[in-house]
Amino acid sequence: RDGQQQQIDKVTQEQRVEVFDAIVRTGVDRVEIGHLGNPVDQDFAHRLVGHIAEQEKTDELYKNVQLQVLFGSQPELIEAGSQVLVGAFQEFYPDNWQEEMQKRVVVHVYDRIDGSLRQASSEAYTMEQSAARVVEAAMLARDKGIVNFSISGEAATTASPEEAIQFYRYITAWLVNTGADSVNVNLANTYGFSPNEVWNAGTLTIFNEAIKHGLDDKVTTSIHAHNDVNSANDFTWSAIVAGFDR
């Protein structure tokens, strides 16, 4: 991430581009650039596509950079944000915009796994409905030509490994079977700990293997650990040892 999810201080687009360039120079080839449900990040995404198109003319590092963009599962937001991406690639890559967009864009869609978060919604819904919402939103991006996805369930480690596997497998199977080139499954330890105390190196290994079973060439796994109780490093290392890809 570029660190601008909170936007506590005023940071200009020029400064965000400088941060992006610094990240690219380290060799990182996938950068989450913002939440395209808001106009500030939509403008930034448009500018960044143009920046990459110009930079790759003289710098090989930019030829393989992927932009990951974040969406909640609200259809109207993903429709608007996806169209911004289409417009940007049509403008800056007029001869092969579809190919470039498919290669460069990863759309990350999330909804809620944790029951308390789902119940806090204006209208409570089930975990199964949450998974269906992610699928519906991702398919809107798919209809725009997006083929690379990342998915997550907010506070996934509040659920049991079995429940989390069911949630993610439903989504990954749907996306792979409808033409996705890749799906990254992001296990979100949103609260910085596992309230049910069943997530450890062993259950993370089971989760990783179950998620990828039969889909190894299309599905990767990643960990997203908050550090509320100073556990992010340990939890992340456990996931890497368990076979998570990033």
Q: What is the pLDDT of residues 195-243, one digit of tens each?
A: 667 898 999 999 999 999 998 789 999 999 888 788 888 889 999 999 9
How many other CB atoms are found less than 10 A from the CB of residue 122?
4
At 54, the pLDDT band (50, 70, 90 cuts) reads: very high
At 6, the pLDDT band (50, 70, 90 cuts) reads: low
For 66-110, the pLDDT digits (tens) are 999 999 999 999 999 999 999 999 999 999 999 999 999 999 999
At 194, the pLDDT band (50, 70, 90 cuts) reads: low
Question: Is the pLDDT at 57 greater than 90, yes or no?
Answer: yes
Q: What is the pLDDT of residue 109?
A: 96
Q: What is the pLDDT of residue 187?
A: 96
